[in-house]
Chains A and B, each alone.
Chain A
Amino acid sequence: MKGIISYGAYIPYNRLQRKKIGEFFGKSTYSGEKAVAGYDEDSVSMGVEAALDCLHGTDSKEIDAVYFATTSAPYKEKGSISTIAAALHLKENVRGIEAASSLRSGTSAILAANELEQTLVIASDCRTGAPTGQNEQWFGDGAASFLIGHGPEVIANVIDAVSVQGELVSEWRSQTDSFTQNWEERLGSTVFLKQVKEVVTPFLEKNNCTADAINKVIISGPGTRAHTQAASAVGFQKNQIQDPLFDSVGAAGNAHAPMMLVSALEEAKPGDQLLVVAFAEGLDVMLLEVTEAISRLAKRKGVQGYLTVKNDQTSYSDYLKWRNLLETEPPRRPETERPSAPALYRGYHQNLSFTGSKCRNCGTPQFPKQRICTQCQVKDEMDDYRFVGQSAKIMTYTLDHLAASPAPPMIVAVVDFDKGGRIICEVTDCHPKEIEIGMNVEMTFRRLYEAGGISNYFWKARPIRQKESV
């Protein structure tokens, strides 16, 4: 039977207090905070981070297929799968599909995964609501990832699933729209409620199941209240409803239901039954049963881990700048040049997967790849050597106020890996006052910048802030 073998999540470090939006515009807002992607993050970089969390302790070369689901891909024309596959160091003949546009493409990708093949599903979204609008407050950024397959390592079996298509213009963004638009909320919530009643009750009956037998119902519906209305309409009590993360993350598009599912799995015990209901022009409904294997799953950051590591002082003006919603005076430095496509092409394997070389003669790891060893000068005696996931420390650093950066000062550090090797790179998700010699850091996949319409992805260092971090 098909099931979830592993899960992972990612929530950006920066959180925006919703009241800051209200203070700026002089209006009332929802409570809580929302997760906002930093200037160096997007749906691809967040998706890679969630997948790295999911694949912790897994051989990435055993993955047969990868599905990337997002409504906020960096390109309208040019895929993201190849970037993600390279960053995750997946095998070259891994199959890939990009599930786009639909807000339930995350759950649909889980349902589409073939149990006979190890399939990595990544759902990631980074949506932008128009300033002053409700969506701006409501939307949050995040990603979730699942490894789907079968066998004794499955932590949650998919007992049954059903999908219905129900066309509706409720929430949409055209090819040329910058922001999501909405019809009157009552339309979406009414149709959603109707669809849930028509689909969920018969689905549970078909599986000889009742609402009270379900431990957690994970509902992603339109607006802030529809999920609780729908849950009670089909017989669920309040304590069965999975926290929709509205106050801590926001509505994370197609990653919303998957992130809630990760949250539920983090709390789940063997034998628990989970019901997933994801809405967008119809429903994806999924019944899961947690297995004994969940107790053997290696520790990961997950939603819980990332929720606790945050900067809740993010300013609204920074958010506006990072989203290109506020035009500001450019720094008095030359404009960032478009990277060279041939140079990118030559460097993809090295740069996206962060693979350097290790000298066969003297054992020195080095990045970028060298042909002549920096230590012993032997020629062409190098093996590939991947630095991802390795612990490292700050050797020395600077806070560069002159460099052009969307979040000055640019923190640049000499990073020494504990197992050898060095890189000089940017430090991200770090307050300038935090950094010090000897600080523990790990590498994180980021979008360095966009220039000439090209998104350039690479790795930066970020502080390891918690002992229990994995």
Chain B
Amino acid sequence: MVWASEILVSVLILIGAFFLVVGSFGLVKLPDLMRRLHAPTKSTTLGIGSLLIASMLYFALLRGAPSLHELMISVFLFLAAPIAANMIAKAYMLRSRALHRSLPRPAHGGEWATYLPHAAGPATAAKAKHRPDDAGAIRER
């Protein structure tokens, strides 16, 4: 029974390390920021989840000291990673005016929600009222 647990924990550790490497490799290899965001936010989070499951199984099965710390880490990380990725994507969209011009239009007309004046907060909405062509917080690079 012990050897089965050891094999399970070892395989989970190796899977986690593999996905961490895949995430970082994608960060190096992919061509621009929007595509680069995919690698760390998905693959790396999966790798950390696998490592945390391995740690939980190791302490519960082989050490006889089950703990729930890892669950707390994984819940916090799974909440934090999409929010951080969303903030990075939003900052990237709002910083580049050339990107705004190159985006396709939304299917039902209008404007992407990130570029709407009220999406960036009341201070920018007031600023956009004076300069209606300057949508939101877009700045020249």
Q: Are both chains from one complex? A: no
Binding site for A on B (CB under 8 A): none
